[in-house]
Amino acid sequence: MAHERCEQCGNQTPPWDTIHCGSGDGHYELLCTSCFNARIAESAGFTDFENVRLDPIQLIDCEGDAHQFHFQLRLLGARIALDGFELQGELPAGYRFQLIGEADDDVFVLLGRLIEKIRRALSFRHVDFRERRIIDSMVRGRIEWDESQPGHLPLVVVDGKEVLWDDLGRMLMSMEGWQFRLEIADPSDEL
């Protein structure tokens, strides 16, 4: 996917590192994350906000597979959101994690906490994708949009992999008669 030009600094920026920013008069601007944060910091008066660029890191899951995580730090008024995600092409896909902190938190402390959170998640497998079954009695994941089911059925991402809603249903049928609990949580919560 093509890079887009930040309307503030003019830099060509991959889509995952851009933000559509409303200006109040109904006009939307495409900004790179860095320009977006600088603008929020200026309007909110956070003059000592550290607009750091975080390099991607590679982490290994419990099966020995490597995952490359990219990071996006967004200043959201008095809070900051730190996202860590994998990319497919130039778009986030696979594992995705978020931490919410205060605007004056040390970014590298937050990054350390996010990496610990990612490591905890990577150390666990919910689904055996070869045998297409739930390994133990728990599945945790993320609800996403399924292009082939425009808004009718979700796509879930479990263990960093996409699972069609129908496939999740098939996996559940080996547990017919059992009970289940479905709990929805904020993107930054740890399940």
32 binds Zn ion per the rule CB under 5 A: yes
Judged by CB under 5 A, the chain residues 106 through 145 that form the site for Zn ion are none
Strands (E), 33-141: 57-60, 66-76, 79-88, 91-102, 127-128, 133-134
Taking contact as CB under 5 A, which single stretch among the options 25-33, 59-67, 68-76, 135-143 is the one that binds Zn ion? 25-33
Q: Which element (helix H / strand E) includes 145?
A: strand 142-145
3-state helix, strand, coil in the chain (%, to 5): 20, 35, 40
35 binds Zn ion per the rule CB under 5 A: yes
CB 9, min distance to Zn ion, A: 3
Task: Please tell me the distance from the alpha carbon of residue 98 to that of residue 117, in angstroms, as a whole number.
Answer: 9
Nearer to Zn ion, 32 or 127 (CB): 32
6 binds Zn ion per the rule CB under 5 A: yes
CB 69, min distance to Zn ion, A: 22
CB 31, min distance to Zn ion, A: 6
Q: Return the residue matching tokens 């129908």.
A: 166
Q: Which amino acid is residue 159, in one-letter code?
A: D
Name the phi and psi angles at 83, rounded to 5. Answer: -110, 140
CB 167, min distance to Zn ion, A: 40
3 binds Zn ion per the rule CB under 5 A: no
9 binds Zn ion per the rule CB under 5 A: yes
- Residues forming contacts to Zn ion in the complex (CB under 5 A) are 6, 8-9, 32, 35
